[in-house]
Amino acid sequence: MVEFHSEPQKGRRPTMILATIGVLAVLVGAVALYVHYQRGLQAEAGPTGIAVPGLLRPGNTNFEYYRTKIRIEDVKASLGISFSSARIAMVSGVLVNDGDRTLEAVELHLTLYDAWGKVSKERTAFALRPGAGYTGKGLKPLQRRTFTIGVDAVEYYWDPKKIDIEITGLKYS
């Protein structure tokens, strides 16, 4: 019969302690960076949701002029069902900046219709806003960027082929 004898390993314990402290330091650093990044992305919230200071509205001559420089292409709508069986409309498209300035924010008003042509649901949301998205940067001249806006609780007879999209606010630099 063979017997095995184990002896305590010397010198491995301090290495394990140092490795554990190193891993914990990296995790604390990652959490600190994440928290710092999230604070930078938070926008001012007003009573109606997200507010972007300096947003131009219809009636402003600068708004009316620059609105003609923004195109919305390839608009598509699809229906999604959430885990709670709620019907969600997902409207996506491409924003195109044909102007000579960088767009910082674009607010859109979506109107969805049912099969009989009646207004089914409306929503106003930002397709582009400061600090949002992968880069958090604006839309430069002659640049294109996709957007997706979700509309909750659409009715059963919603027609995805009938959608109106209107630009209701924009900010440029």
The rounded distance, in Å, linking the Cα atoms of 50 and 38 is: 15
Helix (H) or strand (E) holding 15: helix 12-41
Q: What angle do CA 97, 98, 104 make, to 5 degrees?
A: 30
Q: Are 119 and 84 in contact (CB under 8 A)?
A: no
CA atoms within 13 A on the CB side of 88: 13
- Evaluate if pTM is beyond 0.85: no
Enumerate residues 6+ apart whose C-beta is below 8 A from 132: 41, 43, 126
Q: At residue 97, what are phi and psi to the nearest 5 degrees?
A: -100, 100
Residue 48 has pLDDT above 60, yes or no: no
Residues facing 80 on adjacent strands: 88
How many domains does the chain fold into? Answer: 2
| Domain with 164 in it | 45-172
Looking at the structure, tell me whether residues 86 and 113 fall in a common domain. yes
Looking at the structure, tell me whether residues 58 and 124 fall in a common domain. yes
What are the tens digits of pLDDT across the range 67-102? 999 999 999 999 988 888 889 999 999 999 998 999
Q: What is the largest CA-CA distance in the chain?
A: 96
At residue 98, the 3 state secondary structure works out as coil
The rounded distance, in Å, linking the Cα atoms of 84 and 70 is: 37
Looking at the structure, tell me whether residues 28 and 86 fall in a common domain. no
| Cα-to-chain-centroid distance, residue 136 | 9
> Would residue 16 count as lying in a domain?
yes
Distances (CA, A) of 39 to 27, 35, 36, 44: 19, 6, 5, 11
> Could you tell me the two tokens for 7?
């002896």
CATH assignment at residue 161: 2.60.40.10
> Would residue 54 count as lying in a domain?
yes
Looking at the structure, tell me whether residues 120 and 68 fall in a common domain. yes
What are the tens digits of pLDDT across the range 114-165? 999 999 999 999 988 877 666 668 889 999 999 999 998 888 898 889 999 9
